[in-house]
Amino acid sequence: MQKRSMFNLDYSYLSLPNKFYQLVNPALFSKPQTVLLNEVLLKELTIPFTNKEDLISFLLKNKGDDRTSSFAQAYAGHQFGNFTTLGDGRAIVIGEYNTPNNKRFDIQLKGSGRTLYSRGGDGKATLKAMLREYLISEAMHHLNVTTSRSLLVAKTGELVQREKLHDGAVLARLMKSHIRIGTFEYARHMGTTEDLKALTEYTINRLYPEIKNEENPALSLLKKVRSVQIDLVVNWMRIGFIHGVMNTDNVSISGETFDYGPCAFMNVYNPTTVFSSIDTNGRYAFGNQPNSIKWNIARFADALLPIIHPEPATALQLAQACIDEFEPIWYEKYYEMMLLKLGVQKKAPELYSLVDELLTLMLNLKLDYTNTFLALTNNTGSEVEKMAEPEFKIWLEKWKNTIKNSGGIKQAKKCMQESNPAFIPRNHLVEEALDAATNGNFNRIEKLLVVLSNPYHYQENLNHFTVPPPTVFENEYATYCGT
Ligand code: AMP
Ligand code: MG
């Protein structure tokens, strides 16, 4: 594949049959203005650049560079249960960057103009939506959740029409790969078995080379994705994250969280919590995320069937067995994580009820999810007093006895501090910061990014970042896809 200057970008994706992509140039913006730049990430990835201006013009202005290999990816997907063909309607991969220690990342621009897959859309993005993605994805990274990363947000100088005119922006984001379950659904339904084979082989080579010589690589890939997605969604449950739009086109094969459109964080614990304005049936509610990911993995299995086994009945049997194993694996990993939040470091099914009883108390007493664990960990925050309720005291005694019998308080505390963040992107703080930034004041978003870069270290002077929003805000809060 041809290489391009500066990052030495590569284009391995273009080795796939050309129905998997459209070669397309990102829009050119004459005066892009960078408003957030992730210098820490630039250093981490050892992205070479002599000065910021060169980097920005390389990414956004196409200065003197060959852009003929940039591409938009074709895919399909189940959106709220309905199959549809899609594709990058407003995103373009400008190339793949290889770090000096040979880690490959797609560099993708989001909001950079129309593609073959834009359908009725304008291919553009608003400043507010791109700042939101930058802020939440970076917060997720520091919360130790696998995620796409954000490199920069730049105002394009254009206005974008939504319900009113907004400042337009571009986000540069990085992912190990943007291949998603929907890419396989596209291969299965819009391509031939050869296309599906080519995609599977490419994906395994790129993301999971360790399984390429296994007896049934397609089945191994299915199990791998089941495993990384279970780990990912368990991790979301740990921090109260609600993705909001777990359509199969938004589920990465690499196990990275991505597409931060209508996502939000739960405050008061309630598994039915949903903020997305279009999720009227609560399909992607907090407590439904395990069901949703299981359903999505089943769609992945469907897509892989012809290459799992040439005999359809055998293929189905092998795939079904993989789906049937989902629940036992999920429960083991989920309770293991929840017990770590309680400072218990052993796999102990007899202790699962301790978790369930706490969640029931949190639901009945309308306790803040993050702050309940903060109170148990550091005896601080909004929920400390509420734990004096008689029914909570009974649970507390049980928990303290469990800790005594399993490693002691010192060890438990350390483990709880690593599992329970003090600072999450509280929805009201995110909105306040975004509103200020879209009005030209970036102080709040910059401050929030700093606080959220160290979420497990409670600091008294930052206490107001732990305060849940007023109930009115919580009841009226709604998030939106795309925009
Ligand atoms: P999402 O819900 O953000 O994953 O988007 C679903 C689909 O809509 C994807 O194929 C996007 O590329 C496409 N899309 C979202 N917004 C736009 C837009 N403004 N212009 C074109 N396509 C879009
Ligand atoms: Mg998407």
Q: Calculate the alpha carbon distances from 321 to 104, 214, 307, 326 in Å.
A: 33, 18, 16, 9
The predicted-structure confidence for 287-317, as pLDDT tens digits, reads as follows 999 999 999 999 999 999 999 999 999 999 9
Residue range 411-436: mean pLDDT, rounded: 98
**pLDDT of the residue at 31:** 85
| Nearest CA, atom 14, ligand 1 | 89
The answer to whether 16 and 78 have CB atoms below 8 angstroms apart is no
Confidence of residue 55 (pLDDT cuts 50, 70, 90): confident
Cβ-in-10-Å burial (0-12, 13-18, 19+) of 252 comes to buried
Q: Which of 86, 180, 252 to mutate to test the pocket of ligand 1 (most atoms within 8 A of CB)?
A: 86
Residue range 15-32: mean pLDDT, rounded: 93
- Please report which ligand is nearest the Cα atom of 119: 1
Confidence of residue 57 (pLDDT cuts 50, 70, 90): confident
Helices marked H in 274-351 — which ranges?
289-308, 312-324, 326-341
Who contacts 94 (Cβ-Cβ below 8 Å, separation ≥6)? 9, 26, 59, 67, 70, 107, 108, 109
Taking the CA of residue 299 as centre, how many other CA atoms within 13 Å lie in the half-sphere pointing to its CB?
32
DSSP state, residue 467: P
Pocket of ligand 1 (CB under 6 A): 86-90, 118, 121-124, 245, 249-250, 259, 261, 481-482
Residue range 429-448: mean pLDDT, rounded: 98
Amino acid in position 449: L
Q: In this model, does residue 339 exceed pLDDT 80?
A: yes
The predicted-structure confidence for 140-157, as pLDDT tens digits, reads as follows 999 999 999 999 999 999
- Please report which ligand is nearest the Cα atom of 117: 1
Q: Which atom of ligand 1 is nearest to the CA of 86?
A: 10
Catalytic residue among 88, 106, 167, 249: 249
Q: Which of 73, 118, 124 to mutate to test the pocket of ligand 1 (most atoms within 8 A of CB)?
A: 118
Q: Which atom of ligand 1 is nearest to the CA of 75?
A: 10
Q: Residue 203 CA to chain centroid, in angstroms?
A: 19
Confidence of residue 54 (pLDDT cuts 50, 70, 90): confident
Q: In this structure, what token pair is assigned to residue 173?
A: 């984001």
Compare 66 and 26 and report the one with higher pLDDT: 26
**pLDDT of the residue at 62:** 63
| Nearest CA, atom 12, ligand 1 | 89
The predicted-structure confidence for 219-273, as pLDDT tens digits, reads as follows 999 999 999 999 999 999 999 999 999 999 999 999 999 999 999 999 999 999 9
**pLDDT of the residue at 66:** 67
- Please report which ligand is nearest the Cα atom of 175: 2
How many Å apart are CA 196 and CA 472, to the nearest integer?
49
For the chain, the farthest-separated pair of C-alpha atoms sits apart, in whole angstroms, at: 70
How much distance in Å is there from the Cα of 242 to the middle of ligand 2?
Answer: 15
How many Å apart are CA 480 and CA 483, to the nearest integer?
7
Confidence of residue 122 (pLDDT cuts 50, 70, 90): very high
Confidence of residue 30 (pLDDT cuts 50, 70, 90): confident
How much distance in Å is there from the Cα of 478 to the middle of ligand 1?
Answer: 19
How many Å apart are CA 161 and CA 468, to the nearest integer?
33
* Strand (E) or helix (H) holding 14: none
Query: Where exactly are the structural domains of the chain?
Result: 12-175, 181-333
Place of tokens 């497990």: 456
| Nearest CA, atom 15, ligand 1 | 482
How much distance in Å is there from the Cα of 42 to the middle of ligand 1?
Answer: 27
Q: List the beta strands (DSSP E) in 99-162.
A: 104-110, 149-161
The predicted-structure confidence for 279-295, as pLDDT tens digits, reads as follows 999 999 999 999 999 99
Q: Which atom of ligand 1 is nearest to the CA of 261?
A: 3
**pLDDT of the residue at 182:** 98
**pLDDT of the residue at 483:** 82
DSSP state, residue 205: H
Q: Lowest mean pLDDT: which of 49-53, 89-93, 178-182, 240-244?
A: 49-53
Q: Which atom of ligand 1 is nearest to the CA of 249?
A: 4
Write down the pTM of the prediction. Answer: 0.97
**pLDDT of the residue at 313:** 98
Number of Cβ atoms within 10 Å of the Cβ of 304: 27
How much distance in Å is there from the Cα of 66 to the middle of ligand 2?
Answer: 27
**pLDDT of the residue at 407:** 86
Who contacts 430 (Cβ-Cβ below 8 Å, separation ≥6)? 132, 135, 136, 448
Helices marked H in 388-441 — which ranges?
390-404, 409-419, 427-438
Q: Calculate the average pLDDT of the chain.
A: 95
Q: Residue 68 CA to chain centroid, in angstroms?
A: 29
In the residue annotation, 249 being an active-site residue is answered as yes
How much distance in Å is there from the Cα of 259 to the middle of ligand 1?
Answer: 10
How many Å apart are CA 411 and CA 46, to the nearest integer?
36
How much distance in Å is there from the Cα of 88 to the middle of ligand 2?
Answer: 8
Backbone angles phi, psi at 155, to 5 degrees: -70, 140
How much distance in Å is there from the Cα of 90 to the middle of ligand 2?
Answer: 10
In the structure, ligand 2 is a single-atom ion and the residues with CB under 5 Å from it are: 250, 259
The answer to whether 125 and 111 have CB atoms below 8 angstroms apart is yes
Residue range 75-95: mean pLDDT, rounded: 97
How many Å apart are CA 255 and CA 230, to the nearest integer?
9
Q: In this structure, what token pair is assigned to residue 245?
A: 């739009």
**pLDDT of the residue at 50:** 73
Which residues in 311-341 are b (16+ Cβ under 10 Å) and which e?
A: eeeebeebbeebbeebeeebeebbbbbbbbb
| Nearest CA, atom 22, ligand 1 | 89
The answer to whether 459 and 378 have CB atoms below 8 angstroms apart is no
Amino acid in position 345: Q
- The 8 Å CB, 24+ separation contacts for 89-93 are 89/114, 89/115, 89/117, 89/118, 89/119, 89/121, 89/123, 90/114, 90/115, 90/118, 90/121, 90/122, 90/123, 90/124, 90/125, 91/115, 91/178, 92/24, 92/25, 92/26, 93/13, 93/178
Q: Which atom of ligand 1 is nearest to the CA of 91?
A: 12
Who contacts 404 (Cβ-Cβ below 8 Å, separation ≥6)? none
Residue range 118-146: mean pLDDT, rounded: 98
How many Å apart are CA 246 and CA 286, to the nearest integer?
11
Confidence of residue 120 (pLDDT cuts 50, 70, 90): very high
- Please report which ligand is nearest the Cα atom of 186: 1
